[in-house]
Every structure is written in structure tokens, then in C-alpha cells.
């Protein structure tokens, strides 16, 4: 079965919501993919980063449509993006039928899609309550594709512990640190693996300059897989603060915590629904931070563990992530979603 993946691309690289369908297709013999809209495809897959207007047009061919609502796009509230994104596809890709606002085309595509894939229960609940979605599945990323060495190696907990926090992510998400009200937190040593520039409206800003205004003792590294794995080996706790009052952040999936587990780190995370459910499954509710003033207290609790208890915790979390989020496990869930129409 041939899957048309939008937007068109010659190499398949790009946003993770496009890469993950490619990982699924490569993991099974039943599917192939193409980026050629003139090909004789059997399914249309439109990523959240894709040309939704083009996807709607192609849906008129009668082929099944899968839409990947990988982020909480309908809650972004970015007026400029709402206008410029469809305009980009119209002017630069020649798709003259995409002049509607981004949010309106997303609303339409969700309601006509045969399958909608999203990343968290919050997103699923919102779509069920606010759209006419017919068939929706919550699916996470394929970690093994982006971080194969974390699955191929035999994990061994560190014999010694440094007191160094680890955070990774897109630089635009550094603003989540402003949700932490305990000023003592910003005196702790932390490594930040992220982009050296972040987008602020039409401008690009320095991530280091932003961090200079927050942290007393930090090091910032340009994001790449090797840098992330290397710095994690010198850290003791992964940190995931979330600004819960911003809907697109509050609806995030558990991916960041799972990645930290794979890196060999325990995690402290804001108690958004995805992390609360994850820690409940693990029976480790003490890892969630419910009060923005609790961060230092929570860090101190973890650092107060005996070395053997800390190592057991790291091993438990790593084994959980390697099993539950293996490609084989996720492949079956994606297969069920794509065949559910």
C-alpha cells in the first residue's frame, strides 16, 4: 500500500510529525511511501507541518486521509502564523486553493479525515469535544529511530553522581522556565541542550542571552544527538518545567520524560496530564511537580537517595522506556490506527 506523505520532500527529513510516519512505513512490509502527489497512492498522510489545503484537495480523489495532529495547533493562538502558513504554500508551492486561515483548514481536515493521529490524551479529549472527529488515536514518537544507540547499548547506571540538571528541547520552549517561582532553583547547575537561536515573532534571538537572564550557573549546547547523550552522562536529573496555563504546552505528550529515561536519568516534570499519567503508571507520583515553588525541594529529595536506590531508579525507568516505547511496540499501535478506517 502506497502512502502519499505531505508536504512533498525529496529526502524525508523534517519535523518529527513527518518523520514518524516514515519510521512506521519502514518498519513494515505492508506499506511504502512517496512524496510525489502524481503517484498512484492508496493513502494520504498529512503531517501537522504539511499543506492542509493540498490535503483537502487530494481528499476529493476519494482516497483515505490520515491527519497527524502532532501538536495542539487549534490552541496555538498565533495570528501571524494563522495567515502566513497557508500563504507560504499558496505563493511558494503554487497551491492556489490554500488561502483560508491555518486554523480553519485544520478544523476542516480533522472533520473529513478518516483517521486522526494525535500525541496526547489532552489533545484527543479537546478534539472529541470541539470537533466532529470520527476516528482518533493517541500515538507517541519512534524513539528508537532517532536514538538507536540508546536501545542497542546495555544500560549501566552511573557509579558516581554529579549534581547537574539536564534540560533539552526547542529553544522556544525555554520560556517554560519562567513558570518556576522558586528563585533558588536558578542557582542550581544546569546543562541546556537546545538551538542556539530561537524565533521570537519575525526575529531570531540568542538562546544564551535569554538564559543569562534566568540562570546563575548554566552551560548551553547546540542540540544534536551526540551532545545530548554526552551531556546526559554528566547529569543526575532531567528537568521538564511546563507553563500549564498555555494550552499548547499543557497538552504535550510524555515524550520528553521517556527520552530522559532512555538517557538514564530520572525526571522531575510539571504535573500536566501526560506526565501525571506516566508517573502513575510507574507508581512514582513523587516525580511530578504540582507547585511551581517545589522544584528545589523535589531536586533535593532525589539527590537525597542512597546511591544504590538512585541506580535502581535509573535502571527501572530505563527498562520501562526500552520496553514500552520500542519500535516493535509502537509499530503495532500505528498499524492498528492506519487500518482503522
pLDDT in tens, 265-317: 999 999 999 999 999 999 999 999 999 999 999 999 999 999 999 999 999 99
Which residues make Cβ contacts (< 8 Å) with residue 94, sequence separation at least 6? none
Query: In terms of pLDDT, which residue wins out, 65 or 17?
Result: 65
**Of residues 220, 218, 214, the one with CA closest to residue 182:** 214
> What pLDDT was estimated at residue 341?
86
Do 2-140+327-338 and 147-324 show the same overall fold? Answer: yes
Percent of the chain with pLDDT over 70: 88
Can you give the residue ranges of every domain in the chain? Answer: 2-140+327-338, 147-324
Percent of the chain with pLDDT over 90: 60
Residue 253 has pLDDT above 70, yes or no: yes
pLDDT in tens, 315-333: 999 999 999 999 889 999 9
CA 244/CA 179 separation, integer angstroms: 8
250, 270 Cβ separation under 8 angstroms: no
pTM, rounded to two decimals: 0.85
pLDDT in tens, 137-147: 999 888 988 89
**Of residues 268, 263, 222, 219, the one with CA closest to residue 241:** 268
Architecture of domain 2-140+327-338: 3-Layer(aba) Sandwich (3.40)
What average pLDDT does the segment 153-177 reach?
A: 90
What average pLDDT does the segment 254-269 reach?
A: 96
> What pLDDT was estimated at residue 281?
95
Q: Whole-number mean pLDDT of the chain?
A: 87
Which residues make Cβ contacts (< 8 Å) with residue 55, sequence separation at least 6? 6, 44, 46, 65, 67, 109
Burial string for 94-106 (b: 16+ CB within 10 Å, else e) reads ebeebebebbebb
> What pLDDT was estimated at residue 275?
96
> What pLDDT was estimated at residue 230?
93
Look up residue 75 and give its DSSP letter. G
Look up residue 254 and give its DSSP letter. S
pLDDT in tens, 89-122: 555 554 444 446 667 778 889 989 999 999 888 8
> What pLDDT was estimated at residue 184?
95
Q: End-to-end CA distance of the chain, in Å? A: 14
CATH class of residue range 147-324: alpha beta
Amino acid at each position: 500500500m502506497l502512502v502519499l506523505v505531505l508536504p512533498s520532500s525529496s529526502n524525508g527529513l523534517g519535523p518529527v510529525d513527518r518523520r514518524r510516519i516514515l519510521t512506521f512505513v519502514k518498519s513494515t512490509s505492508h506499506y511504502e511511501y512517496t512524496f510525489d502527489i502524481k503517484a498512484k497512492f492508496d493513502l494520504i498522510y498529512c503531517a501537522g507541518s504539511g499543506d492542509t489545503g493540498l490535503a483537502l484537495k487530494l481528499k476529493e480523489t476519494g482516497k483515505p486521509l490520515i491527519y497527524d495532529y502532532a501538536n495542539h495547533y487549534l490552541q496555538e493562538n498565533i495570528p501571524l502564523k494563522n495567515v502566513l502558513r497557508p500563504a507560504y504554500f499558496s505563493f511558494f508551492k503554487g497551491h492556489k486553493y490554500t488561502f483560508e486561515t491555518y486554523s480553519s483548514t485544520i478544523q476542516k481536515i480533522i472533520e473529513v479525515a478518516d483517521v486522526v493521529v494525535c500525541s496526547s490524551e489532552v489533545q484527543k479529549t479537546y478534539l472529541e469535544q470541539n470537533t466532529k472527529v470520527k476516528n482518533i488515536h493517541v500515538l507517541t514518537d519512534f524513539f528508537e529511530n532517532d536514538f538507536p544507540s540508546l536501545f542497542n547499548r546495555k544500560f549501566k547506571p552511573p557509579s558516581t553522581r554529579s549534581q547537574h540538571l539536564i534540560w533539552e528541547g526547542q529553544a522556544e520552549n525555554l520560556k517554560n522556565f519562567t513558570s518556576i517561582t522558586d528563585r533558588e532553583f536558578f542557582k542550581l547547575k544546569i546543562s541546556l541542550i537546545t538551538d542556539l537561536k530561537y524565533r521570537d515573532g519575525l526575529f531570531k534571538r540568542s538562546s544564551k542571552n535569554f538564559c543569562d537572564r534566568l540562570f546563575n550557573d548554566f552551560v548551553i549546547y547546540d542540540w544534536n544527538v551526540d551532545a545530548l547523550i554526552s551531556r546526559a552522562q554528566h547529569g543526575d536529573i532531567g528537568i521538564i518545567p511546563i507553563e500549564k496555563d498555555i494550552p499548547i504546552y499543557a497538552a504535550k505528550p510524555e515524550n520528553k520524560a521517556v527520552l530522559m529515561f532512555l538517557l538514564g536519568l530520572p525526571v522531575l516534570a510539571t504535573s500536566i496530564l501526560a506526565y501525571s499519567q506516566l508517573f502513575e503508571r510507574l507508581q512514582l507520583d513523587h516525580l511530578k511537580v504540582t507547585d511551581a515553588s517545589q522544584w528545589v525541594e523535589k531536586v533535593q529529595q532525589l539527590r537525597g537517595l542512597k546511591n544504590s536506590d538512585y541506580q535502581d531508579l535509573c535502571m527501572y525507568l530505563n527498562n520501562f522506556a526500552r520496553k514500552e516505547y520500542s519500535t516493535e511496540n509502537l509499530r503495532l499501535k500505528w498499524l492498528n490506527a492506519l487500518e482503522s478506517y
